[in-house]
Amino acid sequence: MIVAEVVRSGFVESTHHGVVAVDGGPSIGDVDTPFFPRSSNKPLQTVGLLNAGLVPREEADLALISGSHDGEGFHVERVRAMLAAVDLGPEALRCPADLPLGETPRHDWLRGGGAAEPILMNCSGKHAGMLATCVLNGWPLDTYLDIDHPLQKALADAVSRLSGEPIAALGVDGCGAPIFAISPIGLARGFRRLVEAEPGSPERRVADAMRARPELVAGTGTEDTVLMNAVPGLLVKKGADGVAAAAMAGVGAVALKISDGASRARVPVLLAALRRLGLAVPAMPELVLGGGLPVGEVRAVR
């Protein structure tokens, strides 16, 4: 089903199909067919880490573990500190070497003569949380990404429990960690359970940490950070290939997937869904440029 269109000079140039699952309102498309939520799964997985015995240095670490950071200096130093707290160094990370995800920190890093490193990879916070959990349980470190590892079994159990459905398929995410397929409505259900859980529970600790420190979830000026700063109480986590999820206690939750994986359609569709739930969200236009000037936009059509 078409959920967004690209308009250039008043002419519809392209369209994007997708699915928008709403827990608490009308959905769009087939919301029951499983998909890979990619990094939008991370908050659910962090609940699994806490249930498995993770003891973070401070609650703010849970935001970074649940996030896809831009590789800014404060992100990298926090990952380093999380590892050091369990007597590990960056060499323990099994995520691939990468450059900072954010454009500015990436350019700054390269100008300084830096090269790709695993700690710069946007999922290094999640991996640090996984490693810390393994250390606390005495689990093997070298194989923590194996699907049969007790850590990954605990994370799969958490995703299944929070989404309210069995894991439909297993895959390997971009960072090398297992990714668990659930339905879009299952993802929305899981996010709603995070924000509506009892204070102090693992679910609420994750949601509260992310909302208290949104800059650790993504980075300075990114969509997740801007939305959580602009709408108090809103939980947001984007994922690769056109995925996003968001929830507000007492209001509802949204999970979406742009079928062709285009990130440019993600924000307009997410904002439209949140507005249908009655939330006042900021304007975050996705502009179409011509000669370096705005000549159109990407806009939601439902």
Q: What is the pLDDT of residue 107?
A: 97
Specify the pTM.
Answer: 0.96
β-strand partners of 28: 20
* Beta strand spans in 24-175 (E): 169-172
pLDDT value, residue 217: 98
Determine the Cα–Cα distance for residues 204 and 164; give it in Å rounded to an integer.
17
Phi, psi torsion values for 243, nearest 5 degrees: -110, 145
Q: Which of 184, 197, 174 is nearest to 68 (CA)?
A: 174
Q: What is the pLDDT of residue 299?
A: 97
Q: What is the full per-residue pLDDT of the chain (302 aa) written as tens digits? A: 999 999 999 999 999 999 999 998 899 999 999 999 999 999 999 999 999 999 999 999 999 999 999 999 999 999 999 999 999 999 999 999 999 999 999 999 999 999 999 999 999 999 999 999 999 999 999 999 999 999 999 999 999 999 999 999 999 999 999 999 999 999 999 999 999 999 999 999 999 999 999 999 999 999 999 999 999 999 999 999 999 999 999 999 999 999 999 999 999 999 999 999 999 999 999 999 999 999 999 999 98
Tell me, what's the pLDDT at 302? 82
